[in-house]
Structure 1
Amino acid sequence: MRPLYSLEDEGRVAGLEKAGGSETFRTAWRRDYARLIHSASFRRLQGKTQVFPGHEGDFFRNRLTHSLEVAQIAKSIAIRLNHENEFFKEPGRNIQPDLVEFAGMAHDLGHPPFGHNGEEALDQCMKNHGGFEGNAQTLRILTRLEKKATLTTAGDYSPFGQDGADDRAGLDLSYRSLASILKYDSIIPERANDRASGPHKVVKGYYKSDALIVEDIKRAVVGDDFEGKFKTVECTIMDIADDIAYSTYDLEDVFKSGFLRPLDLFALNPKIYEAVVNTINSRIKKQYPETDGSITQSDVHQILHYVFFEVFAFSTDDRRLLKDRDIEPEAKKMYFAVDAQQRSQLMAENGYHRTALTSSLIQMFLNGIEVIPNEKYPQLSNVRLEYETFIIVEVLKNITYEAVIRDPALQVVEFRGKDIIIKIFDAIKADGGDRLLPKDFREVYQQGDDVNRHRTICDFIAGMTDRYAVEFYSRLFGANGMTMHKPL
């Protein structure tokens, strides 16, 4: 029986510490977790939008609180699998909960300000210099941008060696921790015209400049002889935990905001249901290739009715009262419609009812998880949602995306963010614009070729919070009072 972990998993990027380490009281994964928690990139997640911008209210989730929720769900999945699943109950095959929790905490580090439009804006700016994508940026932050270690001797923190090579090593994490956030095993083409999906669509993967570190990760985790798609069991658990969080807690934020109520989900624009169906059917083909499954708009409505059945769950007393009384059929329909509207409003506005809804959904989804074991490479075993559960999660997740995130009210805000990012990028890229960069970024900018200079500007902007990006833009172009005392 092959074990789930090996000593090679504990090797680190900088290579300055021996695998296994000197601390017998905590694992390599717990050390990585600590390094992440204390990092600047992790702290900045509190200033990045999840669904609603932070200034809209303190209740709404941001990328930091979302990451905490994903980490908790992922860790719960791992603990449960270790307890119940025959494959992972075997000695030597217990999933490390700390490692799964790390993946949940780290998975959104690379997201830029202003959500999806921010990602599209940076990808547009980088279209012929390697592109931009949030998951690729997460890997780059952990392996290069964070200021914990360099490849040189400990204590010498110069980002570049004597030969001019980039010596940054980020948080100097273990290879298995880095593998836990490597969701897409493909290189993003450097030029937009080389993208199979077309030049204007963001491509998921990792940057060409990070290909060597990805090779090191794979070599440590599965060895040199592995062929095929690489995605560790911890990464698959983090991935479904992320989907579960999106499908429940984002919806809770939507209800709290008053943007939509449960009953509204049944009367959206038909184009929204069409988009939801197309997206889900595309994902079914990728994630469940062994099935011929697909869904229709009718299926979407049935699933919504299943999830929000309490909106239509009229009491026996109410039904008996209407049956005994001499009331016209049309009047009865109106009574039920009013009652459903009131129940919908209660579920959206009452915190107890919202919490009961999200708790029941989380439990239902956790009960709908399956394992596809890999005996040859147990570290690449696949944890996924059962097909029926997957459909429910996808409906809720994509309804939120299409009906809310794609709504003009939010798109106006995000469009403004896209414009801000592009203008900041162009200002820094212009002749002499590197003087606008902080000293540490300027030092990196001045080393290397044109691709490196574009990437350095991209790294700087991607790390901004929403508020800081607006403030930086205002200092460059706005009418606000100028200051030289606030640090860049």
Structure 2
Amino acid sequence: MRKCIEAEVMDFADDVAYSVHDFEDAIVSGFVNLAEIKSTPSDTSLLQKIAEWDGSDLNASDFESALSRLRSNSYWLTSHSGAMKDQATLKNLTSALIGSFVRRTTDQTELANASEHLVRYQGALVVPNEVRAEIAVLKGIVSAYLMSDAKRQPYYQWQRAILSELADALLAANGKHLDTYCASAWQEATTDEQKHRVIVDQVASLTDVSALSLHHELVTK
């Protein structure tokens, strides 16, 4: 089912935000070894893990080129000590990456759509393959160093269980306990698929604290 451009923009914004900020958090937490990705050749296991994690139509060459472009950014770090200088550089990197992803996608979307009024189904968001590959590389690096860490799997399993139970409870609540935006979207939803999407959007918008609080209210009590 085709999505309206507003939904495509929201999905893209989520991709950008999560890929960049998860990468930033993994560096600050010390999980990503920046020295190991300082000059990664094409046949390393890192790129293979990225390809396995992504699972899209992009290939190893796309990821290799994307990693090279990312490393060419003037704010790219080869180490992170936690010092103020490194923290500032990392913040500059996240800002530069977000700006680059949004700018290139905006330019490509404007070129690909004839209509000046990009609303609802009058146009489509066009994310360049280069941007898709760079986002996938950031996600893949985090996956390789953090999310695939065997020691953290019990924690992730607990998180998944909490979110799954919360989503089921919100769906069963039939539109209750939703924020203003999602409550409106729920009222407009006419199919089970659309209602499930509303619940996913609601859960995705929650902070860790608010998700746990709502889970306690709807499930634990």
Q: TM-score range by the shorter chain?
A: 0.5 to 0.7
Corresponding residue for residue 129 of structure 2 = 387
- Give a deviation string over 1:15-53, Cα, whole Å, max 9, x none: xxxxxxxxxxxxxxxxxxxxxxxxxxxxxxxxxxxxxxx
Structure 1 residues 412 and 467, CA gap change in structure 2 (3 angstroms):
farther
Q: CA deviation at 1:295?
A: 2.3
Where does 1:83-482 land on structure 2 (aligned, <5 Å)?
Answer: 229-265=1-37, 272-280=46-54, 282-284=55-57, 294-296=58-60, 299-309=62-72, 344-346=78-80, 349=83, 350-369=86-105, 370-371=108-109, 372-373=112-113, 379-380=120-121, 381-417=123-159, 465-466=211-212
- Contact kept, 8 Å, 1:347 with 1:354, in 2: the verdict is no
Corresponding residue for residue 196 of structure 2 = none
Corresponding residue for residue 194 of structure 2 = none
- Structure 2: which 5+ residue stretches go unaligned? 177-198
- Contact kept, 8 Å, 2:8 with 2:124, in 1: the verdict is yes
Structure 1 residues 312 and 421, CA gap change in structure 2 (3 angstroms):
closer
Q: Using the alignment, how far apart are the partners of 2:90 and 2:71 within structure 1?
A: 11
Letter in 2 for 1:373: N
Question: Which TM-score applies when normalising by structure 2?
Answer: 0.59
- Give a deviation string over 1:182-208, Cα, whole Å, max 9, x none: xxxxxxxxxxxxxxxxxxxxxxxxxxx
- Contact kept, 8 Å, 1:263 with 1:311, in 2: the verdict is no
The percentage of counterpart residues that share the same residue type is 20
Corresponding residue for residue 127 of structure 1 = none
Structure 1 residues 403 and 238, CA gap change in structure 2 (3 angstroms):
same
Letter in 2 for 1:345: S
Q: Which has the higher contact order (CA 8 A, sep 6+)?
A: 2
- Give a deviation string over 1:422-458, Cα, whole Å, max 9, x none: 9x89xxxxxxxxxxx9xx96xx9xxxxxxxxxxxxxx
Q: Using the alignment, how far apart are the partners of 1:312 and 1:244 within structure 2?
A: 18
- Contact kept, 8 Å, 2:4 with 2:120, in 1: the verdict is yes
- Contact kept, 8 Å, 1:346 with 1:353, in 2: the verdict is no
Letter in 2 for 1:300: F
Give the structure with the higher percent helix: 2
Q: Look at both structures and tell me which one has the larger radius of gyration over its CA atoms.
A: 1
SS at match of 2:145: helix
Q: Using the alignment, how far apart are the partners of 1:256 and 1:395 within structure 2?
A: 18
Letter in 2 for 1:384: V
Structure 1 residues 347 and 391, CA gap change in structure 2 (3 angstroms):
farther
- Give a deviation string over 1:48-78, Cα, whole Å, max 9, x none: xxxxxxxxxxxxxxxxxxxxxxxxxxxxxxx
Structure 1 residues 271 and 415, CA gap change in structure 2 (3 angstroms):
farther
- Contact kept, 8 Å, 2:101 with 2:131, in 1: the verdict is yes
Q: Using the alignment, how far apart are the partners of 1:386 and 1:470 within structure 2?
A: 41
- Give a deviation string over 1:219-271, Cα, whole Å, max 9, x none: xxxxxxxxxx331111111111111112211111111111114323357x955
Q: Using the alignment, how far apart are the partners of 1:312 and 1:351 within structure 2?
A: 11
Q: Using the alignment, how far apart are the partners of 2:51 and 2:87 within structure 1?
A: 30
- Give a deviation string over 1:81-103, Cα, whole Å, max 9, x none: xxxxxxxxxxxxxxxxxxxxxxx
Q: Using the alignment, how far apart are the partners of 2:75 and 2:88 within structure 1?
A: 18
SS at match of 1:345: coil
Structure 1 residues 310 and 367, CA gap change in structure 2 (3 angstroms):
closer
Using the TM superposition, name which of 248-257 and 408-417 deviates more.
408-417
Q: CA deviation at 1:378?
A: 5.8
Letter in 2 for 1:237: V
Corresponding residue for residue 188 of structure 2 = none
Measured on the aligned residues, the alpha-carbon RMSD in Å equals 4.3
Letter in 2 for 1:308: R
Structure 1 residues 344 and 471, CA gap change in structure 2 (3 angstroms):
farther
SS at match of 1:251: helix
